[in-house]
């Protein structure tokens, strides 16, 4: 078993989920500054694309800063050979680990047999993990998946993954068909933990098991660890508008409005500087809905921010809202 950086971290692990068009380089850098998790993930990137002539058009999704370490690159696809070559590329880019997405429920992703579709083909999933490990060298390889496709398949699905010996398995506590439409079934995470311990009693040969879904803060994450015995928790949507989420030294339930707006502007400025030539400012506006919330005048300010066309206009609107208060 190659645990790599995973073996150096204290448990329970509190980690940031990869989210497409959310956890880009600008947001991760802000999070690293204000409330760094134990591990960060990139957005997922197409394995096929990264080994094609279009590679240069995807590399911006893999930009990262030293402040983000340990940083894991997440990739998706269905061709083991492409995973092997892609892993070699990720090694050359300096990542700390590689994660394979076997849980995305998007129909567009599944068209190529990728994401959650791999739950229906465990043998291919094993070959993909093995090929990725071959290309990864000393980098540890992990898998992010779901409890099953149409129903809970942990008793059959998890042993196949463990057979390939990834360093960690992160499990979203819903099936693919459940998407995010039902409450997360955390009892299945305990089932997975118990099964992993049964199959691999020796921790040196047992992948770490992390749970994911419907966790809004660190207190809830710790409660989930206590009830399931998992090695850590991955938090996703709770990070929206709250870069302080993983900051154990700060009460992030009472962040002053001025601080929220200042960090929102900092986040936007980073987005424009790093990704403005690749992505439109419109992609930032989902964050404004989260930053600008829970204080007097928030609805009106949000409406104005949604009309802004560039950073200068955004900053001017925020300053007008705050009046004499400084950012």
Query: Which residues does the annotation mark as catalytic?
Result: 104
Say if 85 falls within a structural domain.
yes
Cα 131 from Cα 177, distance rounded (Å): 28
Say if 61 falls within a structural domain.
yes
Is 177 found in the same domain as 228?
Answer: yes
Say if 21 falls within a structural domain.
yes
Is 120 found in the same domain as 47?
Answer: yes
pLDDT value at position 325?
A: 57
User: In sequence order, which residues have a C-beta less than 8 Å from that of residue 82 and are 6 or more positions away?
Assistant: 47, 48, 50, 51
Say if 194 falls within a structural domain.
yes
Is 175 found in the same domain as 69?
Answer: yes
Say if 263 falls within a structural domain.
yes
Is 21 found in the same domain as 167?
Answer: yes
Last residue of a domain, one of 239, 272, 297: 239
Is 274 found in the same domain as 167?
Answer: no
The pair phi, psi for residue 241, each rounded to 5°, is: 70, 10
Q: Could you give the number of structural domains in the chain?
A: 2
Say if 327 falls within a structural domain.
no
Is 97 found in the same domain as 232?
Answer: yes
pLDDT value at position 284?
A: 94
Is 296 found in the same domain as 221?
Answer: no
pLDDT value at position 158?
A: 98
Is 182 found in the same domain as 41?
Answer: yes
Say if 31 falls within a structural domain.
yes
Is 150 found in the same domain as 63?
Answer: yes
Question: Is the pTM value of this prediction over 0.85?
Answer: yes
CATH number for position 78: 3.20.20.70
pLDDT value at position 170?
A: 98
Range of the domain at 159: 4-239
Tens digit of pLDDT per residue, the chain (327 long)?
A: 899 999 999 999 999 999 988 999 999 999 999 999 999 999 999 999 999 998 999 999 999 999 999 999 999 999 999 999 999 999 999 999 999 999 999 999 999 999 999 999 999 999 999 999 999 999 999 999 999 999 999 999 999 999 999 999 999 999 999 988 899 999 999 999 999 999 999 999 999 999 999 999 999 999 999 999 999 999 998 899 999 999 988 877 788 999 999 999 999 999 999 999 989 999 999 999 999 998 999 999 999 999 999 999 999 999 999 985 556
Is 290 found in the same domain as 221?
Answer: no
């Amino acid at each position: 078993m190659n645990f790599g950086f995973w073996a150096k971290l204290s448990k329970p692990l509190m980690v940031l989920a990869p989210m497409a068009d959310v956890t880009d380089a600008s947001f991760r850098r802000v999070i690293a500054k204000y409330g760094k998790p134990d591990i960060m993930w990139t957005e997922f990137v197409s394995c096929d694309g990264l080994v094609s002539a279009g590679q240069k058009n995807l590399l911006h999704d893999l930009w990262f800063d030293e402040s983000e370490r340990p940083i894991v690159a997440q990739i998706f696809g269905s061709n083991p050979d492409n995973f092997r070559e892609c892993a070699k590329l990720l090694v050359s880019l300096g990542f700390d680990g590689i994660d394979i997405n076997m849980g995305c429920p998007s129909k567009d992703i599944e068209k190529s047999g990728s994401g959650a579709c791999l739950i229906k083909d465990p043998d291919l999933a094993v070959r993909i993990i093995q090929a990725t490990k071959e290309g990864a060298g000393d980098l540890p390889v992990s898998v992010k998946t779901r409890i099953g496709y149409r129903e809970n398949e942990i008793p059959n699905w998890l042993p196949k993954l463990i057979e390939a010996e990834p360093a960690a398995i992160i499990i979203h506590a819903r099936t693919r068909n459940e998407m995010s439409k039902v409450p997360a079934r955390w009892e299945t995470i305990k089932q997975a933990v118990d099964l992993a311990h049964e199959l691999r009693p020796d921790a040196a040969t047992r992948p770490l098991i992390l749970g994911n879904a419907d966790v809004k803060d660190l207190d809830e994450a710790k409660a989930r660890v206590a009830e399931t015995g998992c090695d850590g928790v991955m938090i996703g949507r709770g990070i929206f508008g709250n870069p302080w989420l993983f900051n154990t030294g700060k009460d992030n339930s009472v962040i002053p409005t001025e601080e929220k707006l200042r960090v929102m502007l900092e986040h936007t400025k980073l987005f424009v500087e790093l990704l403005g030539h690749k992505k439109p400012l419109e992609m930032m506006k989902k964050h404004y809905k989260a930053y600008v919330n829970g204080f007097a005048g928030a609805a009106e300010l949000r409406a104005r921010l949604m009309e802004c066309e560039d950073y200068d206009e955004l900053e001017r609107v925020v300053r007008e809202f705050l009046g004499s208060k400084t950012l």
